[in-house]
Amino acid sequence: MMTTADIALREDPSYKVISKRFHENPDEFADAFARAWFKLLHRDMGPKVRYMGPEIPSEELIWQDPVPAGNTNYDIDSVKAKLSESGLSIQEMVETAWASASTYRGSDMRGGANGSRIRLAPQKDWEVNNSSQLQKALSIYEVISNDTGASIADVIILAGNLGIEMATDANVPFIPGRGDASQEQTDADSFASLEPVSDGFRNFHKAGLAVSAEEIMLDKAQLLGLTAPEMTVLLGGMRSIGISSSGHGIFTDDINKMSNDYFSTLLDMSVEWKPNASEDSYEAFDRSSGEKMRTASRTDLVFGSNSQLRALAEVYASNDGQSKLVADFISAWNKVMNNDRFDV
């Protein structure tokens, strides 16, 4: 007895060529099967650096997302000085670092900042990454990389850290040693599946999606290994320094200083939120005057409407919540920036 799948291998013109080749070349078939089986069993184990034991294959396979060894022998302070003089804004540095690191998926340990694949296809062209802003930053980072010996991957993260330091007047830890992958080491078709169609942390959500922005945000937070408090403080902190692709959810007068304005304003009960023409955004109207005060996305408002997330927002919105906001943000930020550092 044969299934339709079996018959297809014999009758389909494309499959028939492959089946015939394997039939006539059993050694080639054995090698192809061994490679496919190895990939099946190891696909979710992350890069080769995580493998253990005496039977690790010496061959580097493209589906393992190989990354060359990085350099740690360079002057970090010199890189930061050049970044400070680059003319890039806090928002450009922070958002580029987030765009690079937040592709990480704990489910199969793919993505992340190591390899700086954000400068390669397909990531450089993803809609969420705002290609014009991204290319502006990357062109500057490449020059700094060439001048200092730091990898572009390290420069991307160091720039994001510098942006946070400028916004908080606090120190952000940094671990050097990331490498830069080449386009030849990158399976573009495979990486296409990592493209974010929605990123609540950047207030980006493609039109026409059947799943709500806040649900996708929860899924992304889970893939990044974030707890509910970490998710809350990261989103609120980024919004307080002006990170929002839609422009919604910016509730502060000074986007160059991280503050708890986002949370205190979000929980303000003197306004009434109403949906506008778009189902993904809302407008706040003063309950007394009826004046339009601000706008927000569904992702923003879930931190006021969901009881558990609201409880977390209230902690950071409190009068003495500023220092906790900064400390917790840096801790969560550092976690995301180093999720893929299996070598440390």
* Per-residue model confidence as pLDDT tens digits over 244-274: 999 999 999 999 999 999 999 999 999 999 9
Q: Token digits for 272? A: 């009434």
C-beta neighbour count of 41 within 10 angstroms: 9
Which pLDDT score is estimated for 178? 98
Q: What is the mean pLDDT of the chain?
A: 96
Residues 106 and 225: beta-carbon distance below 8 Å: yes
Average pLDDT over residues 57-81: 95
pLDDT (average), residues 103-118: 97
Long-range residue pairs from 168-173, CB within 8 A, at least 24 positions apart, any chain: 168/257, 168/258, 168/326, 168/329, 168/330, 170/326, 170/327, 170/330, 172/330, 172/333, 172/334, 173/330, 173/334
Q: Give the confidence band of 280 by pLDDT, cuts at 50, 70, 90.
A: confident
Q: Is the pLDDT of residue 175 over 70?
A: yes
pLDDT score of 278 more than 80: no
Reply yes or no on whether the pLDDT at 279 is more than 70. no
**Looking at residues 26-42, what average pLDDT do you find?**
97
Longest Cα pair distance anywhere in the chain, in angstroms? 83
Q: Provide the residue type at 6 as one letter.
A: D
Asked whether the predicted pLDDT for residue 332 surpasses 80, the reply is yes
pLDDT for 277 equals 79
- C-alpha 87/C-alpha 90 separation (Å) is 10
47-61, 141-155, 167-181, 316-330: the lowest-pLDDT one: 47-61
Helices 131-148 and 76-84: crossing angle, nearest 10°? Answer: 140
Q: Stretch 66-73: mean pLDDT, rounded?
A: 96
What pLDDT digit, counting tens, does each position of 187-241 carry? 999 999 999 999 999 999 998 899 999 999 999 999 999 999 999 999 999 999 9
Is the Cβ–Cβ distance between 282 and 274 less than 8 Å? yes
pLDDT in tens, 146-164: 999 999 999 999 999 999 9
Beta-bridge mates of residue 128: none
Give the span between the Cα atoms of 250 and 295, in whole angstroms: 8
Distance set, CA 186 to CA 106, 255, 341 (Å): 19, 36, 18
Percentage of the chain beyond pLDDT 90 is 96
